[in-house]
Each structure stands twice: as structure tokens, then as C-alpha cells.
Chain A
Amino acid sequence: MSVAEDYSYYTSPEQNGGIAMDLAVDGVTCGGCVARIENAVRSLPGVTEARLNFTNRRLHVAWRKEDLAPARIVSEIEALGYKGRPFRATAAEEAEAREVKNLLRCLGVAGFGAMNVMLLSVSVWSGNVTDITAETRDFFHWTSALISLPAAFYAGRPFFRSAFEALKARTTNMDVPISLGVILALGLSVYETAVHAEHAYFDSALMLLFFLLLGRVLDHAMRRRTRAVATNLAALKSDTAQRLKDGEIKEVPVAALRTGDHLLVRPGDRVPADGRVVAGRSEIDESIITGETAPRRVDAGASVYTGSLNYSGALRIEVTALGADTLIDEIERLLAKAAAGRSRIRALADKAAGYYAPVVHSAAALTAIGWLMAGSSLHYALVTAISVLIITCPCALALAIPAVQVVASGALFRSGIILNGADALERLAKVDTVVFDKTGTLTSPDLRVENTGAVDPALLRTGARLALSSRHPLARALAREAMTSAPFDGVVEESGRGIRVLIDGQEARLGSLEFCGLPTQSVSSDVSLLAFTHAARSAVFEIRQSLRPDAAETMNALRALGLSLHIMSGDRSLPVSRVAATLGIESWHAAMKPAEKIQAIEQLKAKGRRVLMVGDGVNDAPALAAADVSISPSSAADIAQAHADALFLGERLLPVVQALLTARRARHLMTENLWLAVIYNAVAVPIAVIGALTPFIAAIAMSASSLLVTLNAFRARGRGVT
């Protein structure tokens, strides 16, 4: 049965009358891949443009509509051995892309201004100690003003806007003192120029903007990169659904489904949307919803949920809920509550900003009052007070924390951890308790054959090769043991029972024990059996969800960090207790409902614990939102991913340790950087207060302190755990 795939949902019209589509491509590792994919897609009929962005692994294709169906592009990429899936960029991602471009423009303008003004300033400084005439100095100052005022006005917009928003909301943030410092420095300089004074601070204002913008560009570029990876992951994971319409089956993206559509869910498929079974009978595995590993029997009238795995028979379902309302009511209600009640730890940067502004502003005021009382002129008192504000301009302070966040999230990104927000680092650093879900988190999301060692290797190989022909999840687990990717010819499938084929003239069967003519066995409920017979020989494979390969190692590493570990699972006692015993975790709870998970986490928090929740299921989502901080594997249900602070990629669990280590180091460096900024101010402010600050000293001090905290931030990269 060939099924037509319909990707028209993802295409968008181009200006020249053609249409275009963006695809996330997986498996692109080198320049050769880029050329192979681009050339192959370009050679398709009607394609006018194909460009693979190697930075974010996305392919942009444009073509003449009548010449080509979008599905051809997807299958062409697949034929080359890569996986490509179309996607639609989210609004948040597009906004981030615009913001990065805007910041880069501001950075360019600030850099241009700072360099040219610095050129003029150096001349003035060296002239001031030799023989510059007052006219030449005024000319240089006015030229500086001509460059600085428009450049600072343009490049400072991101700060001015944010400061204005904060003031309007009657709060304060770091951008308020920054904006104030820049505006005062420029205002003072224009005034000083007009009265033919020796000192102007145009270069300080622009250099401040340049450094701060540099930090912000890096920050946003990092965020944009992680967001792109998250979107790609979602696109590559997004399955298609088989829609039945007018007796025809069409494969459509899940995003294009509507309520009331009838879908065909074959054995081995995941249920693409919440729905009700209209026809068919099967067993489905709902472990991603409930954590329960034993399959549930369903027939006509039963409800099925997105993400469950269909085991044995084909089902026809009617879609009842989609997208945002695809959640089970109870989970939805709990989620809203948990997310609202989440105690927000106040970010370090906000705390610093809270102390900073009042201290600095009162220091400036005291300086002015002090000089007035000492009998100096109002002009001199004001100039000195403003110079205090300029020198304390939070160059170092505003970079101290973002620089560390950028470097740390970059380091995590390279080791396969994607942070949803940089503030998660600070919360991760304080964690002292880790709560794990079992199914899909401690265990790997795929099923595995447990007793491969007990089966004759030749029989295992033959059975595994036969398993290649079945879509049943148990058979797929067995197929993973196959040494070849070539299935047998002439395999016959007996629906709901198993498959058979003739090998060397003798019949081989793979399926239930009954289908293979073997006596039934009783096993514990978390093990599934798959039987194989060939000639007179037979084997029974025991299949279950096995632990992630490095689960024990990860637990030991976490214990060594002094963390207390818990398991909270929705699965039954027996499998949970076995996993807990293997990993040496004493505190475990089984058969927990989502509400009970929240309760248990709230209890831990009430005892003063900082809780990290690691989970993947729909039933974990409320707990992920309730914990202080949360991590999900990238195989997790969408709703769990949406409420996790970080995602980790791949089969291994060790990234959780890596995330904690990096976060702790990052927090340490943030504090260190804040102290560096404090020391800088402790040295620089007295110089300004006594009125000895020249623009030359200001330039040196400000750039030196910025460089120092930035260089210190690079230590957040550290060495990874392997």
C-alpha cells in the first residue's frame, strides 16, 4: 500500500510565484553532506533554489509549484540517508532572529562611533600634555559630538527602551543606570565642549555601549542557536498521521489534522492525536502518558492519547482534541496550578541591580553636596558628581553575569544539553535533591531484549533478521540485535499473532508463544515475551524497558556531589523497586498520580530542599513545573519538554551531572565576577569623588574591567565529564 504524503501545510508562496519550504535536516556532519544534499535537491525538476544552512542544519528549498510535490523533496533527502522534516518557524524564533539582527546593527554603529571618537580622543589626550591649541581641541570635541550623539542615540535604543519600560512599571533594572550614565556623559560632554573645557567623555559613553552590546549580541545569538535546535528536534520528531478520507489514506503532518478526522493507526505507530477508537482492537502502551509499562487493551469506544504506542492491531480513531487542548483535563488543571505556584528564586543579576542603583546614585549625590560644602562652584560639584556616575557605569557589572551565562550555556550546548532559559543555571546550581521519573527517564525509551546471552547466537541472528519485517514494537526491539539490514523475502504477516517465512525450506515463526506452538509461561508483568521457532529449535525472548547504559554511573556521580536521590514513578511497585534496588536508591515511590508527584515535591520544598525533577512523561509535566528546576530527555512528550528548563539529547543520562557541574561552576564565577566589579568600583569611585578623574583614566578603567570579567567568564567552559 503506497500512501501519498501531503506536506502542503508547510509550504509558503515566494515573491516570484514559486513556493518554498524549510526543512530541519538530521545527520549533517560535514561539508560533504551539505554539497550532497544541495546537489540532489537542486537536480529535482522545477527546483530553483536549495540552500542548506550548516549552522542550524536547515534546508531552504524553493521550486515552481506545478513541477514538484513537496513529498518528493523529503523522500529525496531520505534516499541519501538523512532525515529531513518540514517545519514552520515559531513566532518566538522569528522575533529572536530579528532581535539579533537589530542588536548587530546597533553593535556596528557603536563600534564605528567608538573607534572614530577614540581616534580623536587620543589626539586630544596627547595634545593636552603637549601643545594642542584650544581651537583644535574644540574642533575635535565638536567632531566627536557630531559622531557620538547620533551613534549613541541609535545604538543605545535597546537600553533606553528597556529602561523606559522598567521605569513605567515603577521598577528598576540594570538598563536604568546604564541609560542614565550614557545620557549624562553625553550631556556633560556637550556642555563642556560648549564652554571650551579640556575634558569630554564622548568616547566613554560609546565604548560602554559597544561592550554592553557585544555581551547582548552573544547572549541572543546563543539563545537563538538553542531555540533553533529545539525547533529542529520538534520537527524531526513530529510524526505524520494517516488520514482516512473518502476511502483513501493520505499521510498528513499532525499539525494539519482537524477534530473529527478519522485516522488509521497501524501496529508500531504512535497515536498522533487524542481520540476515540471507532473500529479495531489492540493493546497500547501508554507509558509516556502514565509511566505504567504494562499495555492496556482497547477496542471501539475507548479513548487513546497522543504519544501512546499501538502494539498489535490496526486501529481506526476519530480525533477528539488537538494541539493546545490535547491534554488530559486533570493534567491541565494541575499544570496551571503548579506553574503559578512555582517559587521564583530572584536572579543574581536583579539582586545586584537592586543594590547597585541606590548606592551609586547616593554616592554621586553625596559627592556634589560634599564639594558644595567645601566651597567649590556649583559647576565643579556637578561635573565631579557626574564623573562619579560615568566611572561607575556598570560596564563590568552588566557584563559580569550575562558573560558567564553565555559561556556556560555554550558549553552545555556542545555537550548535548539545551537550556530553555539562562536563569535556569542559577537554579540548577542550588539543587540539593534530585527526583527521577522511571519510565523513559531512568530507563531508555526503547525496549530491549534482556536475555540475549541465554539464546543460541545463530538462532538470535535468524530471529532478529526475521523481526526486521514486522512493525510490532517487540519485534523492533529484537530487530535491533540483527547483524544485517536485509529482511527475508516472502514474509507472511498474520495480523495480531505474528509473522512466518520459509528459511532453507523450513518454516520459521516469530510472534506470541501460542502462535509458535509453545506452552504459555508466567513472567513478571513488566516483561513481554516474544517467541521464535525455526525447524525444531525455539527461543523465547524476554523484552522490557532497560536502564539507560550509564544510569548507575550517573547515580554514583550525583551521590558523590552530595545530592539526595528519589524515584517517583507512575508505574507499579515491582518494576520500580527493581530499578531502585539496581541503582541503590532508597527513597522510591510507585503508582503515583500526577497530583501525588506534585504533593511529594512540595513536601520536599517545604523542608527547605531545592528540587531538580528529571522526567519525560505527560504525567510528569506538572511535577516538572512544580520543581525548582527541571530537565527532560529530548525523547520526552511535548508537554513535558515545554515545562522543562533544559533538555538533554541522546541515550545517556550523564548530561544531568554535566548540567549540575557546569551550573555550579557558573554560579561560582558569577559571584566572583560581581566581586571583581565591586573591587573595581571601590578603586575607581574614590578617584572620581576627589575630582581626579580624566577621560583617559575613565577609558582605561572601564575597558580593563570589562575585559577582566569577560575573560574570567571563559573559565565557565571548564572540562566536561566523560
Chain B
Amino acid sequence: MSVLVYLVPMALGLGVAGLFAFLWALRSGQFDDPQGAAIRMLRDDDIQSASPGHMNG
């Protein structure tokens, strides 16, 4: 069962990575506009006008 000494910390590490991804997403405002995100995904105007300074989310 000595393999557990590696496996458990590895599993935990993955969990912590997921937690930090969530906290980062929260901090960077990914949850501020859930309905808007659903719409922006379908917009394709960023393909035609790939202009610099285009602040599209």
C-alpha cells in the first residue's frame, strides 16, 4: 500500500489546482455575467474585425 503515499498527495494536488482555477475565475469576473457569456460565445464579429485594442471577452 506504499503507493498511496504518492497517489493521495497527487490526488490532492489535482484538487487544489481545480480549487485555484475556480478562485482565479471568480476573481477575474468570469461569474459576473453568466447570461452574457452564453451570447458572446455565439458572436463571430471578432473574426472579421481582428483589430488591435478590440476589447472583446
Contacts and interface: CB of A to CB of B under 8 A. Distances in A.
Interface of A: 30-31, 34-35, 39, 42, 48-56, 101, 104-105, 108-109, 112, 115-116, 119-120, 133, 136, 139-140, 143, 147
Contacts of B22: 108, 112
29 contacts: A30-B39, A31-B39, A34-B36, A35-B43, A35-B45, A39-B45, A48-B53, A51-B55, A53-B32, A54-B36, A55-B34, A55-B36, A56-B33, A108-B19, A112-B15, A112-B16, A112-B18, A112-B19, A112-B22, A115-B15, A116-B11, A116-B12, A116-B15, A119-B11, A120-B8, A139-B8, A140-B8, A143-B12, A147-B12
A139 B12 CA distance: 14
A50 B55 contact: yes
B55 to A, nearest CB: 5
B26 A105 contact: yes
B47 interface: no
Most buried by B among A30, A56, A108, A143: A108
Contact of B31 (A50, A104, A112, A120): A104
Contacts of A30: 39
B50 interface: no
Contacts of B42: 31
A699 B4 CA distance: 24
A628 to B, nearest CB: 35
A55 B43 contact: no
A668 B3 CA distance: 54
B35 A109 contact: no
B8 A105 contact: no
Interface in B7-25: 8, 11-12, 15-16, 18-19, 22-23
A654 to B, nearest CB: 26
Nearest to B43: A35
Q: What bracket does the count of chain B residues touching chain A fall in?
A: 20 to 34
Given A31-B43, A55-B35, A55-B36, 20 more contacts: A30-B39, A34-B36, A35-B45, A39-B45, A51-B55, A53-B36, A55-B32, A101-B26, A105-B23, A105-B26, A108-B19, A112-B16, A112-B19, A112-B22, A116-B12, A119-B11, A136-B1, A136-B4, A140-B8, A147-B12
Contacts of A116: 11-12, 15
A54 B11 contact: no
A119 B22 CA distance: 20
A51 B40 CA distance: 11
Nearest to A107: B22
Q: Please provide the 5 A-B residue pairs with the shortest distance between their CB atoms, ordered closest to farther.
A: A54-B36, A31-B39, A112-B19, A53-B33, A55-B35
A265 B8 CA distance: 74
B57 interface: yes
Contacts of A53: 32-33, 36
A92 to B, nearest CB: 18
A98 to B, nearest CB: 12
Contact of B23 (A49, A54, A108, A133): A108
Nearest to A147: B12
Contacts of B45: 35, 39
Given A31-B39, A39-B45, A133 B18 contact: no
Contacts of A51: 55, 57
Nearest to A133: B1
B3 to A, nearest CB: 11
A143 B8 contact: yes
A52 B32 CA distance: 11
A51 B55 CA distance: 8
Nearest to A31: B39
A139 B1 CA distance: 11
A232 to B, nearest CB: 14
Contacts of B53: 48
B35 A54 contact: yes
Contacts of B57: 51
A454 B27 CA distance: 64
A119 B15 CA distance: 11
A54 B4 contact: no
Most buried by B among A56, A112, A140: A112
B28 to A, nearest CB: 12
B36 A108 contact: no
Nearest to B5: A139
A536 B45 CA distance: 58
A316 to B, nearest CB: 45
B26 A109 contact: no
Contacts of B16: 112
Contacts of B31: 104
Nearest to B42: A31
Contacts of A133: 1
Contact of A109 (B19, B40, B55): B19
A52 B45 CA distance: 16
A42 B52 CA distance: 13
A108 B26 contact: yes
Contacts of B12: 116, 143, 147
B22 to A, nearest CB: 5
A31 B36 CA distance: 8
Most buried by A among B12, B36, B43: B36
Given A112-B15, A120-B8, A55 B55 contact: no
A283 to B, nearest CB: 46
A116 B12 CA distance: 7
A55 B33 contact: yes
Contacts of B43: 31, 35
Nearest to B39: A31
Contacts of A50: 55
Contacts of B1: 133, 136
Nearest to A140: B8
A105 B16 CA distance: 13
Contacts of B19: 108-109, 112
Contacts of B4: 136, 139
Contacts of A35: 43, 45
Contacts of B55: 42, 48-51
Nearest to A58: B33
Given A53-B33, A104-B31, A34 B11 contact: no
Nearest to B36: A54
A55 B32 CA distance: 8
Contacts of A109: 19
B42 to A, nearest CB: 6
Nearest to A132: B1
A54 B26 contact: no
B57 to A, nearest CB: 7
A108 B26 CA distance: 10
A39 B4 CA distance: 55
Contacts of A31: 39-40, 42-43
A51 B11 CA distance: 39
Contacts of A143: 8, 12
Contacts of B34: 55
Contacts of A52: 36
